[in-house]
Structure 1
Amino acid sequence: MWFKNARVYRFTDAWSGSEDQLNEKLAQTPFTGLTALQESAFGWVAPFKDSQMLCEKVGDRLFITAQVQEKILPASVLNEQLAEKVDAVEEAEGRRPGRKEKEALKEQLRAELLPRAFHKTRRTSAWIDLKHQWLVINAASEKNADDFTAHLRESIGSLPVIPVGKSVAGSAILTEWFQQPERRPEGTELLEDLELVMADDPTIKARYRNLDLEAPEIAHSLDSGMRIRQMGIVLNDNCQAVIDDTFTLKRLKFTDTLIEQSADSDDPRTDALLMSDALTDWLVKLAPQWRDTGI
């Protein structure tokens, strides 16, 4: 289990639930798959394939995984079929169906097409850090993360978390990291991958890749009032990622050296532990800046 993204939330009230308690809660809404007429289905699955447990404790972390299946029924297909139905009614009866009749025909077509539609499956994994009181979600988009937290809140009754970057000027902090290396969390190095936006007009953007970080073009952009929206970083020589102004880590890529440490083990929990240890070590160094900024 190697996360490709890390969206970090902090608990505003301490999490105290145990592995057994969370298992019991999640077992009430397991993933059961799509029925013929469902467009989407959500449920909890085992985070590790060699177990049926819906929550597993690895170190000081509780790992959980949600699964979503969605039918692929493109609007263009549905509209094309609807147009044919409308034309058939006009030809047979000499009239064009009204709005309500079109809606009824559309729903009828949807019911006919859904059982034959293909579906796609998406898994979203996360861990709850019992020691540091964080929730870390492997979600590529904010919507997927919001869906995950909403379903988790519904399953367990309460989830008092907020994104760590919700109430902070993230672009100002990233710009500060660039201009003042001593402000970076220990073990953080910058990569030649920057995206900047104008502070008072975010539609004005600049992207610099494979350009020396000392290049005058970057300095000029910052002097003109632009701020860094995202940047490439290396974390403790264990992985590299892109961090954005919401403090989301994307495109995580762990070093071969770290991955090889788990090569002698067939237990997927070894991967989970190495991966989460590597990220937690860096997040701990970042945490003082969360407190300084009131995150």
Structure 2
Amino acid sequence: MTKHLKTHWRACGLALIAATAQLAFTAPVQAQAAPDTLAKVRSEGVIRLGVRDNAAPFAYVDAKGKPGGFTWDVCRAMVKNLEAELGRPIEIKVVPNAFAAPFDLLKDGRIDMQCGATTHSAERAKQADFSNTFFVSGIAVAYRKEDVQYANPLKFGRVAVLANSTAAKIMERRMGAKGSASIDTMVPVKSYEEGVAKLKAKEADTLFADSVLIPLDPAIDRRRSLETVEPYALMMRKGDRAFVDAVDRALMKVLSGPQARQFATDAKLDGRLNVLTPEAWRRGSKEPAPQMY
């Protein structure tokens, strides 16, 4: 911008330089201030947590409006540690939301952090900042047990995907690549439960989704190998450095102690912990999901 203006000024002569300089004094341009959520929380004693409404066992809101799940327990414990660091009580205000809503809610200041099952990807990191990883999942392929041909890693048929999810973007790229995989069409769904329902109703042949979030059903089987690695993290406003650092400090106290294992047990995640999750708890990681497609 500055280089362009200097070139323009030289071309237009000294008179324009003087006029522009006068304008700069009378109408200065204000730089947009970086967000400072930590100072706001310290001042107000309130933190606004966005909670996914239907991402059990990580985050959900029941019929009475009460939040629950592994991520919710982790977030509450993290806020307790944040209270100790700031030396004051902090009230939690819950803002239930759907899958695609948190980005706008963060930008508008309606939430300070999203507690859900959000994959930390390089693409999303352009819009928001992320905490250390609190859980590592992966995309799996589910299919009807009676249709064993879809156990074949190259067969997808009509593949159900959660609209606007990481899985949907990966599947779009795979379809565009026109490789060896047999993919007929994508079937967008609004929830993982709807994806399983479409499998059972034979409106889809496979479901391409986060393995931990696919509901268990006796009529549904899964391929053994995972398609991707999905690091889940808490999501915050872009550029809110002091807040992100404080959240990471408070979060790692939760993950590195016995609380994380207990929260996993409470959420019935014990049998779904892969080796990557305890490793992330021990050492902390901000690595985004590897680009696999």
TM bucket by the smaller chain? Answer: under 0.3
Structure number with higher relative contact order (C-alpha < 8 Å, ≥ 6 residues apart): 2
Q: Which has the higher strand share?
A: 1
TM-score with structure 1 setting the length: 0.26
TM-score with structure 2 setting the length: 0.27
